[in-house]
Amino acid sequence: MISIALSKGRILDDTLPLIKAAGIVASEHPDDSRKLIIGTSRADVRLIIVRATDVPTYVQYGAADLGVAGGDVLAEHGGEGLYQPLDLGIARCRLMVAVRDGFDYEHAVRQGARLRVATKYLNTAREHFAAKGVHVDLIKLYGSMELAPLTGLADAIVDLVSTGSTLKANHLVAVEEITQISARLVVNQAAYKLKRAVIQSLLEAVAGAVRGV
């Protein structure tokens, strides 16, 4: 049996057509089902529906053989125990530093000011600012990061940006790109060795779908 960890939310709809190329069609749409384990058109493949941030954990420990996770989530997790053989090119966005419109970020950085930064990406943010030599106090949030600069909780946020319309609606501006993000297929390292033939053929089918062939 092969288990694939997927999350509801924005990655799912782009993922289902890609795994369909490997002959894997969910027997129920995860969005319409309360089931957390969903069978597929292939008797040897099942889907496990987890929170987006939990996908790397399920795959790391082998509770799922494969998973689809955003690069943001993988960077924050660290990728231990995972192969990341395939960039799916979906759910593209950028991880950015943003501040209130009018806040002079460059000036604050040049002054060596200590910045308060709110984010759910503590590890990634810590590495980014350390590499730049910027002193930061990081504040962990679980969502709605845009509120932090507006309420005085933080000077800046580190968050995902795609169109920028959420920032704009909240009078925030992006001032620095940390990295480009897309969703990737990840594989448990032990499973990749033990179930090589079936996982390899699945990877090839999905890679073909990503290339559009």
Angle at 191 between CA 197 and CA 208, to 5 degrees: 50
Q: Which of 21, 139, 160, 205 binds ligand ATP (CB under 6 A)?
A: 160
Q: Is 53 in the site for ligand ATP (CB under 6 A)?
A: yes
What is each CA distance from 188 to 34, 62, 67, 70, in whole angstroms? 26, 6, 9, 16
CB of 22 to ligand ATP, least distance (A): 22
Q: How far apart are CA 57 and CA 96, in angstroms?
A: 24
Structure-token pair, residue 173: 């501006």
Which range, of 8-16, 19-27, 60-68, 111-119, touches ligand ATP by CB under 6 A?
8-16
CB of 167 to ligand ATP, least distance (A): 10
Structure-token pair, residue 183: 């969703």
**Residues 109-138 within binding reach of ligand ATP (CB under 6 A):** none
Q: Which of 30, 56, 67, 70 binds ligand ATP (CB under 6 A)?
A: 70
Q: Beta strand pairing status for 66-70 and 172-181? A: unpaired
Q: How far apart are CA 29 and CA 184, in angstroms?
A: 21
Q: Is 93 in the site for ligand ATP (CB under 6 A)?
A: yes
Q: Is 11 in the site for ligand ATP (CB under 6 A)?
A: yes
End-to-end CA distance of the chain: 27
Q: Is 73 in the site for ligand ATP (CB under 6 A)?
A: yes
Q: Which of 102, 133, 143, 152 binds ligand ATP (CB under 6 A)?
A: 143
Q: Which of 59, 157, 172, 181 binds ligand ATP (CB under 6 A)?
A: 181
Strand partners, 117: 138, 156
Angle at 37 between CA 36 and CA 40, to 5 degrees: 135
Q: Which residues bind ligand ATP (CB under 6 A)?
A: 9-11, 52-53, 70, 72-73, 91, 93, 143, 160, 162, 181, 183
